[in-house]
Amino acid sequence: MSVEGKVVAITGASGGIGEATAFLLAGGGAKLVLGARRDDRLAILTDRIAGSGGTAVHRVTDVRRRGDLADLVDLARERFGKLDVLVSNAGIGPISPLDALRVDEWEDMVDVNIKGVLYGVAAALPIFRAQGFGHFITVASTAGLKTVANQSVYSATKFAVRAFCEGLRQEAGDKLRVTIITPGFVRTDFIDAVPDPALRAELAVARNKIAIPPVAIARAIAFAIQEPSNVDVSEIVVRPTAQA
């Protein structure tokens, strides 16, 4: 079992889980197609992968724009002739109490966390069907398993993603694979987008105390990819042992 030669597109690749996954897979011989909104960080990541002997290309990708996902999939085919795996990793979580009525941020979470996944599937599904193989991997969250205060909208987007991916799995047939990766608290800059200073500080304390490194999630993604083509790893939950 190996990722060598697999062509893997990753959204949200410029940091955190996406960046860790890119490095891990590139080290195993996969060919990476990296998408994110931050062109400068994508370019640095691509150069670092190339400098360590790996293969990667990148394209600025805003998952809120359907055309950007189509362009990312097209880049994979243009450069490598196929696409084996689409890792839908891009996500945001500007969590807040509902009473704060941060409706614009609610809409952003819906656009990125839900629509971004749908647009990726819309871009890759016809390609996977034509190839006769393909693997959708979607990064969800333990917030999609359990809702807590201040995370209602974020949690709702992750519940929606899990429901969609299960439906996709049931429709995929015997040639395509569908995997949900469900991380708990991961040590990234994810909480920097939390608008309330007190809540952000509280989360920072928890992150510093119990969060696991992004590579823990990257290893779960690699495991799912490495399984034989007739093995569908439906979901992997990875969280800190100290997380409730």
Boundaries of every domain in the chain: 7-238
Note whether 176 and 218 are within 8 A (CB): no
Question: What is the model's pLDDT at position 231?
Answer: 96
The CATH number, out of the four listed (3.40.50.720, 3.30.930.10, 2.102.10.10, 3.40.50.300), of the domain defined by the range 7-238: 3.40.50.720
The answer to whether the pTM exceeds 0.85 is: yes
How distant, in Å, are the alpha carbons of 46, 57, 71, 193, 228 from that of 223? 23, 23, 27, 30, 10
Question: What is the model's pLDDT at position 190?
Answer: 87
pLDDT in tens, the chain (244 residues): 689 999 999 999 999 999 999 999 999 999 999 999 999 999 999 999 999 999 999 999 999 999 999 999 999 999 999 999 999 999 999 999 999 999 999 999 999 999 999 999 999 999 999 999 999 999 999 999 999 999 999 999 999 999 999 999 999 999 999 999 999 999 998 889 999 999 999 999 999 999 999 999 999 999 999 999 999 999 999 999 999 8
Note whether 179 and 224 are within 8 A (CB): yes
Question: What is the model's pLDDT at position 244?
Answer: 83
Q: Annotated catalytic, 154?
A: yes
Write the single-letter amino acid at 222.
Answer: A
Per DSSP, the residues of the chain read ---TT-EEEESSTTSHHHHHHHHHHHHTT-EEEEEES-HHHHHHHHHHHHHTT-EEEEEE--TTSHHHHHHHHHHHHHHHS---EEEE---------GGG--HHHHHHHIIIIIIHHHHHHHHHHHHHHHHT-EEEEEE--GGGT---TT-HHHHHHHHHHHHHHHHHHHHH-SSEEEEEEEE-SBSSSGGGG---HHHHHHHHHHHHHHPBPHHHHHHHHHHHHHS-TT----EEEE--TT--
Q: How far is CA 112 from the centre of its chain?
A: 11
How distant, in Å, are the alpha carbons of 48, 60, 195, 200 from that of 45? 5, 13, 28, 28
Choosing from 23, 80, 136, 154, the catalytic residue is: 154
Question: What is the model's pLDDT at position 82?
Answer: 98
